[in-house]
Amino acid sequence: MPYQQKLVTMAGYTVLLITALIFAFLVQQSWPFIVEHVSLEFFTGDRWLPVSLPPVFQIRGFLVSSAMITALAIVVGVPFGVLAAVSLAELLPHGISVVFRSIFEVTAGIPSVVFGFLGLKLVAPAVADFFNLPTGLTGFSAGIVLSVMILPTLISLSEEALRNVPREYAEASYALGASRWQTIWRVVVPTARGGIAAAVLLGIGRAIGETMTVLMIAGGRLATPGSIFDPMRPITALIASEVNNAARFSVQYHALFTAGLMLFLITLAVNAVAASVIVGKKGR
């Protein structure tokens, strides 16, 4: 193997190793808590009293909050993202679609704290007024803002999947007398569905992991939310708000690492499914 090839291979293994080390560190830091305190109640209870005596650590509320907000972001974001990708790849003239794409890419670069600020100032008050809620800082507001934040991921990956559909498929469709519209919806989009599914899964991963925005606008209520219109605190916001102040090697410190480990495992599972979708598509 030439040395360049070796170098590239090594880089790949290094990234893998770093990920493995992060996982090992998470497990190591959460181990004292897992051994001593994790029981069924850790997952099923929703009392989180880190500075009480004795402290109580139960994470159901945070898990449910993360799931609710992510689900809303996907339900709202995916139709927009996929349709925008179709228009970029198939409908808009090349020049315009290049301009639009670079605008979406700029969106991807906006720091999440800016989205959080916009959510705080614009989305939350509007949500409170529109639905006549006691407060606008709810999972709904956070999910709406997140649906915008995952658009760049959804659009660029879906668009790539659509562009990778061989030109011959469309040409064959046109040759059979199909209109442009029929060709897009009956041939191009179904062929790209594996790639679009992968885009959606990576969007889910992005939404679950988002921290700053949900910390700022989800409302920070620790109980398990009864509906998406309740204030809530997803697991990322929990970790962000408390990890700085937990004394090292205290129970709270290890509990937060355990919450982080849960988050890591969930994201890993989502990304693994995404990867298998992508690999499966290639194998076909």
Partner 1 sequence: MKKIVMLVLVTALALVAIGCQPQKTTLDVTGSDTMVNLGAALAEEFMKTNRNIEVAVSGGGSGAGVAALIEGRTNIAQSSRDLRPEERARAAARGTLHEIIVGWDGLAVAVHPSNPVNELTLAQLGQIYRGEVRNWKELGGNDAPIVILSRDTTSGTFVFFREFVVQERGQKRDAEYHPDTMMMPSTEALYQEIARNPNAIGYVGLGFLRPTIKTVGIKADDASAAVLPSVESVLAKTYPLARPLYFFVVGELTGALKTYVDFVLSDKGQQVVRSLEFVPIR
In the complex, which residues of this chain contact partner 1 (CB under 8 A)? 46-53, 61, 120, 125, 128, 134-137, 215-216, 219-223, 231, 233, 237, 240-242, 244-248, 250
Length of the chain: 284
Q: Which is nearer to partner 1, 129 or 171 (CB)?
A: 129
48: three-class secondary structure by DSSP: strand
Least spacing, CB of residue 219 vs partner 1, in Å: 5
What DSSP assignment string belongs to 101-154? HHHHHHHHHS-HHHHHHHIIIIIHHHHHHHHT-S-S-SHHHHHHHHHHHTHHHH
Taking each helix axis as running N to C, give the angle between helix 3-37 and helix 251-283, from 0 to 180 degrees, rounded to the nearest 10: 140
Least spacing, CB of residue 66 vs partner 1, in Å: 16
Q: Which is nearer to partner 1, 38 or 120 (CB)?
A: 120
List the Cα angle 87/91/94 in 5-degree steps.
Answer: 100
Least spacing, CB of residue 116 vs partner 1, in Å: 10
Least spacing, CB of residue 7 vs partner 1, in Å: 40
At position 45, the amino acid (one-letter code) is G
Structure tokens at 188: 């191009």
Q: Which is nearer to partner 1, 62 or 104 (CB)?
A: 62
Least spacing, CB of residue 30 vs partner 1, in Å: 18
CA 152 to chain centre: 12
Q: Which is nearer to partner 1, 141 or 156 (CB)?
A: 141
Q: How far is Cα 142 from Cα 156, in angstroms, rounded to an integer?
A: 22
Q: Which is nearer to partner 1, 4 or 244 (CB)?
A: 244
Contact, 257 vs 33, CB < 8 A? yes
Least spacing, CB of residue 107 vs partner 1, in Å: 24
The radius of gyration computed from the CA coordinates of the chain, to the nearest angstrom, equals: 22
Q: Which is nearer to partner 1, 7 or 51 (CB)?
A: 51
